[in-house]
């Protein structure tokens, strides 16, 4: 009887142990990589950090004096001219944006007690666990912004004036007496000698002015219908001819009054915040004479980028830091669950001469302390998690 009871008790203990094993919660845990980790079959993922991108448009307004500027009043009766070459730079549109990159200081190895399903974004950020994300994959990196870039613009050709239909040379026939021998008698015979003489600037200006007046007469003739017995164009043909005459007159007039050129250049700068609550750095230097210059240049005044934590998550972040600190010093601390981030909005400004010329609120991942999902919230394949891969924050958990 006693032996029977012992056997029965042992069987119950085995059954309880088996039942306990069968109901033990499965889990996923992460630990930060420190030093040279060489664990085999290790799944590694990194949390994102934010790179701030500033796209700047610089505008150069160039005034170019015409070659016949000093004859504008004499032949055209106008003083409204550009009488000196000049160039002035100004800042136009300034755009602030951001994109995520992997944070090498926040890289984790992932361990699981079961074969869990993981999904990653194209950039390599953890996107979901045991489920597919419920939103379309996106390319979170702003295309084309891969460091400082300057669009080139050849303005040398734009500074030049179009070759006008002005004959800068004229042919002059001079009469020259040549001495010849005719039947032993010397006599003089007049002959013509052809010389090419360059016209003076005044004469060139006068000829071009005359052509401008001829253009105006031709245009007026078209408008009032003077055909000299010939059929006149109408409709689109007339409009085309008038437009061509206007363009030609504008080109001719620029030789007297000068021309203004507007040139735009685009620069892109990138800055990776350190994660401090407040920070500032020089993006570039700017000069009205030289435009955008590198931050190390001696030309121009600095244009700064400032990043300030808005403090909306201050109490929450402080709590997470205290929990992380307590876990790090505890000898019996439970292995941590999945690492993720909280939201950390910051005000990003581009400042010139003490004035903000652009500003935007951006989530700066580096400003959020790392958070760990409690293991008790994870229960095998029934556990489903979706993250925002660009920010490392949780979207949904089941």
User: What are the per-10-residue average pLDDT scores of the chain (398 residues)?
Assistant: 42 38 60 64 84 96 93 92 93 95 89 84 88 62 37 50 56 50 50 70 91 89 66 75 90 92 94 93 95 93 95 72 70 71 93 94 92 77 87 90
Instruction: Output DSSP code: residue 383.
Output: -
The structure's pTM equals 0.71
From residue 384, alpha-carbon distances to 25, 77, 108, 113, 388 in Å are 15, 82, 19, 15, 14
- How much is the pLDDT for 35? 60
What letters, b where the CB count within 10 A reaches 16 and e where it falls short, cover 196-235? eeeeeeeebbbbbbebbeebeebbeebeeeeeeeeeeeee
Give CA angle at 160 (157, 162), nearest 5°. Answer: 105
- According to DSSP, the residues that pair with 291 across neighbouring strands are 287
Give the Cα separation of 60 and 287 in Å (integer): 11
Q: Helix axis angle, 201-224 relative to 235-257, nearest 10°?
A: 160
- How much is the pLDDT for 335? 57
Give the Cα separation of 1 and 12 in Å (integer): 17
| Count of Cβ atoms closer than 10 Å to residue 265 Cβ | 17
Classify 190 as helix, strand or coil.
Answer: strand
Q: Are 58 and 265 in contact (CB under 8 A)?
A: yes
- How much is the pLDDT for 110? 82
| Count of Cβ atoms closer than 10 Å to residue 362 Cβ | 19
How far out from the chain centre does Cα 67 lie? 38
Structure tokens at 262: 């507007």
- How much is the pLDDT for 169? 54
φ, ψ dihedrals at 240, nearest 5°: -65, -45
Structure tokens at 380: 């095998």
Structure tokens at 63: 């005034």
From residue 282, alpha-carbon distances to 101, 292, 347 in Å are 22, 12, 16
pLDDT tens figures, 211-233: 999 999 888 888 776 555 556 66
């Amino acid at each position: 009887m006693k032996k029977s009871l012992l056997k029965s008790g042992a069987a119950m203990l085995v059954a309880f142990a088996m039942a306990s094993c069968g109901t033990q919660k499965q889990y996923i845990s992460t630990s930060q990589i420190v030093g040279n980790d060489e664990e085999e079959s290790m799944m590694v993922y990194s949390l994102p950090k934010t790179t701030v991108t500033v796209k700047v448009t610089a505008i150069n307004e160039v005034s170019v004096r015409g070659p016949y500027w000093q004859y504008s009043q004499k032949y055209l009766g106008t003083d409204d001219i550009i009488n000196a070459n000049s160039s002035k730079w100004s800042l136009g549109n300034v755009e602030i944006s951001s994109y995520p990159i992997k944070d090498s200081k926040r890289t984790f190895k992932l361990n699981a007690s079961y074969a869990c399903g993981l999904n990653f974004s194209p950039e390599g950020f953890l996107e979901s666990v045991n489920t597919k994300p419920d939103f379309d994959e996106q390319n979170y990196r702003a295309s084309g912004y891969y460091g400082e870039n300057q669009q080139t613009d050849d303005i040398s050709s734009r500074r030049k004036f179009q070759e006008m239909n002005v004959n800068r040379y004229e042919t002059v026939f001079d009469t020259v007496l040549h001495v010849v021998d005719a039947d032993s008698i010397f006599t003089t015979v007049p002959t013509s000698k052809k010389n090419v003489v360059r016209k003076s600037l005044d004469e060139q200006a006068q000829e071009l002015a005359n052509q401008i007046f001829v253009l105006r007469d031709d245009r007026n003739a078209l408008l009032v219908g003077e055909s000299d017995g010939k059929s006149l164009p109408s409709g689109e043909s007339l409009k085309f001819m008038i437009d061509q005459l206007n363009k030609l007159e504008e080109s001719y007039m620029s030789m007297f009054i000068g021309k203004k050129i507007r040139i735009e250049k685009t620069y892109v700068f990138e800055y990776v915040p350190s994660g401090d609550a407040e920070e500032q750095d020089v993006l570039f230097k700017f000069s009205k004479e030289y435009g955008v210059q590198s931050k190390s240049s001696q030309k121009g005044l600095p244009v700064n980028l400032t990043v300030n934590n808005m403090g909306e998550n201050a109490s929450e972040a402080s709590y997470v830091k205290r929990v992380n600190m307590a876990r790090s010093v505890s000898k019996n601390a439970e292995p941590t669950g999945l690492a993720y981030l909280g939201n950390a909005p910051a005000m990003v400004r581009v400042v010139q001469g003490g004035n903000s010329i652009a500003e935007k609120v951006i989530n700066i991942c580096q400003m959020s302390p790392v958070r760990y999902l409690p293991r008790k919230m994870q229960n095998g394949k029934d556990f489903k998690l979706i993250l925002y891969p660009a920010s490392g924050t949780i979207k949904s958990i089941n």
